Amino acid sequence: MIDATDANRSPQGQSSPQGHAAGSLSGTTSGTMPVPAGPPPLPAPAEPPRPAPAGAGPGLPQTVIDQLARIEDKASRIEDKYARSEALLARVEDRVQEAGSRMNEAARQADLAALRSEVRAVSERTRRLPGLGLLLLTALITAVLTVALTLAAQRLNLQSLIPPR
């Protein structure tokens, strides 16, 4: 960006006669009072000026524009770092969720193993118990023996063995 003092300079860095009369503060112009001379003109910059960032007004000095450009560069680097950090945190979160699901699966497997051992212990206990057929046979033998002993007690006149009603 070129300001008013740059427009009055020639390529060698010296002020042109028109710019000197129009932009200089020394000397008198018609109808104005004399003004003291300002600092000597600065040489032209070695590198071409950068384009002004969006929103920079035409009247801003080059140092302010350069400073804004540096701030913009820093902000973009910070945004890049933030995006990388966000991606890294997303990957870490995914890994933590995967590890949590593996731990839950391992806990379920341990619970299933404990449940299997409990079922196995109960089945071993119930295997030693008599089955339905043996229980029915025992009930039938008990009923037959009860009837036979009652009849034998009545025939042998062992009424005293039978409790009275």
Report the first-to-last Cα separation within the chain, whole angstroms: 129
What's the average pLDDT block by block, 10 residues per block, for the chain (165 residues)?
47 46 45 53 52 59 93 95 94 94 91 92 87 92 94 82 71
CA distance 8 to 24: 10
User: Residue ranges per domain, the chain?
Assistant: 1-49, 51-130
What pLDDT score was predicted for residue 11? 47
CB atoms within 10 A of CB 19: 18
Give the Cα separation of 6 and 41 in Å (integer): 9
**Cα angle for residues 108, 111, 112 (degrees, 5° grid):** 85
CA-to-CA dists, residue 13 to 8, 45, 66, angstroms: 10, 9, 21
Question: What's residue 15's pLDDT?
Answer: 46
- DSSP class of residue 32 equals S
Element (H, E) at 119: helix 62-127
CA dist 150 and 135 (Å) reads 23
Q: Can you give the pLDDT at residue 118?
A: 94
